[in-house]
Structure 1
Amino acid sequence: MSPEHSAPKPSDSDRRTRAGLIYGLAAYGLWGIMPIYFKWLQAVPAIDIVAHRIIWSLLVLGLLAWIGKAFTQIRSAIAHRKTLALLLLTSVLIGINWLLYVYAINSGHILAGSLGYYLNPLANILLGRFILKERLTKVQWAAVAIAGVGIAVLAAGALGTLWISLTLCFSFATYGLLRKIAHVESLPGLAIETAILFPLALGWLLMGGAESRPMFGTSGTETGLLMAAGVVSTVPLLCFTAAARRLRYATVGMLQFIAPTLQFLLAVAVFHEPFTTAHGIAFGCIWIALILYVGAMARGRRRPLAVQDS
C-alpha cells in the first residue's frame, strides 16, 4: 500500500484518550462487582476491613513501586510541598470513602451506595465545568439534566440513607479532582496516600479492632480474603487515577455510571434488595443521558478529549 493510502497514525492525544478509556472501563467494571467481595467479609466490622485494605494495599503498592522503579517519583512528590499537602487531603477523602462504602454494603444498603456513585458522575461533570473550565455542549448539558431528574427520583425515595449517598459522592468527586491536579502519577500518589493512612490502620488492628477479633481473621478463608484486600483495593484505584489524568473530567464522570449500574444489578438480582418504580425511572433517565452524552462526544471528535498532565 502506498504511503498516501496508508491509514493515518493515531496522534498522542488519541492514544492518550484510548488508554484513558481502557483504564476507566477497567476501574468501574471492577468497582461494579466489588460488593461480592465485601459480602464475603460481612462478619468483619467495616472499619477493620478498611484497616486491612490499607495495610495490604501498601505492601502491594510497595512491590509495584519496586518493579516499576517508582521510588524516585515517590521521593519527588514528598519533597514537593504542594503535592504532599494535596495527598494528605486525598488520603483523608479516600479513607472516608472506603469506610462508608464497606459500611453501606455490609449493612444492607448497596442501593444507597449505588445512588452515591450515580450522583458522583454529575458532581464530576460540574466540577470539570466550573473548576477545570471544561466546556459542555447543549446536548451534554441536556444529558446532565436528564440524569439529574433520574437521580432526584431515586433520592426522593431514599431520604433515610441519602447521607450515605451524598458523602460517598462528594468524598470521591473531590478526591478525583484533587488527584487530577496533583503533580504525581497514579502509583506514586496512591502509595503515598496509603502510607499516610498506614500507621492509623496498623494501630487500630493492634489494639484489637472494633470487636477485639483476631487481627488476621477467625479462619483461613477470612484471613485470605483480608489479605486479598490489597489487590482488590489497589488495582481499580490505580486504573481510576490513570484514567482521570488522561481524560476530560466530564468524560470520567459519564464512565462512572458503569459501576453503580452493576451494583444495582447485584443488589437486586443477587442480594435481593427491592427494585422499585423509582429505580426503573432512574435507570431509564440515566442511560438516556449516557447515550446522549457519548453520542455528543463522538460527534465532537474535533474537540480534544484528552488532557495534558498538570
Structure 2
Amino acid sequence: MAVTVNGRGLLAAVLAFGLWGVLPIYWKHLEGMSPVSIVAQRTIWTCLVVWPLLLWRGRGFVFDKGIIGWHMVSGLLIGGNWVLYVWATLNDRMLEGALGYYINPFFNMLFGALWFGEKQNRLQLVAILTAFGGVLLQMPGVGHFPWVGLTLGITFSMYAVVKKQAKLGALEGLTVESSLLVPLALGWLIWQSGSFSEAFGGSVSNGLLLAGTGVATATPLLLFAFASQRIRLGTLGMLQFIGPTLQFFIGWRMYGEPMTSLRLMSFGLIWLAIGLYAADGILRRRNERNVGLADGAGGG
C-alpha cells in the first residue's frame, strides 16, 4: 500500500531533521573532549536509551552470524561518520559537514545504480553532475580538497547500502549496532580517563550532559523511523535538506565560519541540484498519479 502524507508523519520528519540540524550546538558544549570520546559516550548512552524502548514495545530478535556481521559493519560506518562529523563541528568546519549531508542523496542515487541496478533518468543524472560540480568548486572556495564533506557523504551512503542488506527495523538495528560497539566505546573511555568515574564526566553536571548524548542520538532516529512509515519517500527525501541547511546557517552565522564568494557559488550549485532533484520527484509523482487515473478510468 502506498505511503501517503499525514500530519503526524510530516511533523515527525520535520522534528527529526530539525534536531539533526541543531545538534552541532550540543556538540560544541562538549568541545573539551576528543571526538572519539564524544562518540564513545554517544554509543553507550544510546544503547541505554534504546534497550528499554525495545523491551517496552515487546520487540525482540535472534542474534545470528548474518545479523551480527552486517550490523557490525553498519555500526562501524555510522560510528566513523559520527567521529568525523563531531570533529568537523569542534574544529569550525560545520560548513564542510553541511556539504557532506547535502550531497549524500546524490551518492545514494549513484550507489543505487552501482550496487542495486537502480536506473537514473536524465534529470537525476543532471542533478548528480550539478552537485559534483558544486563539490569541485569547493576546492578553490576553501583552498583544499573537500575531504570532510566527501567522506561524510560517502560513509553515510555506504551505511545506507549496508542497512539495505540488514533485515532488522530501525529500533532493532540501532539496538544491535550500539550494543556491538559498547565494549569498544567503554574500553576507549576507561583507557583514556584512567578510571570509571572520570570516564563518565567526573561530576553530576558533566555526567548529565554526557547522558544527554543518548537522547540526542536516539530521538531523531526514532522520529525518522516513525515518519518513514507514514509519508512518501519523495517527501522524506526533500525534508532531509532541513538538517544541513540549519547546520550551514549555524556554522556561518552563529560560529562565524568563513563564507567566500566561491564557496557561496559552490553551495549555489548544490542547491540547484537539490531543486532538480525536487523537480524530478514532483514530475514522477504527477506521472504516477496520471497513470493511476488512466488505469482507474480504463477499469471502469
Shift of 1:13: 1.1
Q: 2:55 aligns with which of 63, 66, 71?
A: 66
Cα 1:28–1:156 shift into 2, 3 Å: farther
Shift of 1:251: 7.6
The whole-number CA distance in structure 1 between the counterparts of 2:31 and 2:109 is 34
The whole-number CA distance in structure 2 between the counterparts of 1:155 and 1:275 is 13
The whole-number CA distance in structure 2 between the counterparts of 1:134 and 1:25 is 27
Q: Please list the CA deviations of residues 138-191 of structure 1 after superposition, one character each: whole Å capped at 9, or x if unmatched.
A: 222222222222222124433546332232222111001211331110000110
Structure 1 gap ranges (5+): 1-11, 305-310
Matched, 1:37 2:26: yes
Matched, 1:281 2:265: yes
Residue of structure 1 equivalent to 2:90:
106
Which deviates further from its counterpart, 49-58 or 137-146? 137-146
**Correspondence list, 1:241-252, <5 A:** none
Residue of structure 2 equivalent to 1:268:
252
Q: Please list the CA deviations of residues 272-304 of structure 1 after superposition, one character each: whole Å capped at 9, or x if unmatched.
A: 111111232123222222222212212212449
Residue of structure 2 equivalent to 1:164:
148
Aligned 8 A contact 1:147 1:289 in 2: yes
Aligned 8 A contact 1:139 1:293 in 2: yes
The whole-number CA distance in structure 1 between the counterparts of 2:198 and 2:237 is 40
Residue of structure 1 equivalent to 2:293:
none
The whole-number CA distance in structure 2 between the counterparts of 1:181 and 1:232 is 26
Residue of structure 2 equivalent to 1:307:
none
Shift of 1:246: 8.5
Pairwise CA RMSD: 3.0
Residue of structure 1 equivalent to 2:294:
none
Shift of 1:38: 0.3
Shift of 1:47: 1.6
Matched, 1:135 2:116: no
The whole-number CA distance in structure 2 between the counterparts of 1:181 and 1:291 is 30
Q: Compute the TM-score of the two structures, normalised by the length of structure 1.
A: 0.81
Which deviates further from its counterpart, 36-45 or 16-25? 16-25
Residue of structure 1 equivalent to 2:284:
300
**Percent of aligned positions that are identical:** 36
The whole-number CA distance in structure 2 between the counterparts of 1:274 and 1:296 is 33
Residue of structure 1 equivalent to 2:37:
48
Which deviates further from its counterpart, 145-154 or 259-268? 145-154
Cα 1:104–1:187 shift into 2, 3 Å: same
Shift of 1:21: 6.5
The whole-number CA distance in structure 2 between the counterparts of 1:274 and 1:18 is 38
Cα 1:209–1:239 shift into 2, 3 Å: farther
Cα 1:208–1:14 shift into 2, 3 Å: closer
AA aligned opposite 2:26: Y
Residue of structure 1 equivalent to 2:298:
none
User: What SS is found at the alignment partner of 1:157?
Assistant: helix
Residue of structure 1 equivalent to 2:221:
237
Residue of structure 1 equivalent to 2:69:
85
Aligned 8 A contact 1:125 1:251 in 2: no
AA aligned opposite 1:279: R
The whole-number CA distance in structure 2 between the counterparts of 1:210 and 1:153 is 45
User: What SS is found at the alignment partner of 2:3?
Assistant: helix
Residue of structure 2 equivalent to 1:198:
182
Structure 2 gap ranges (5+): 290-300
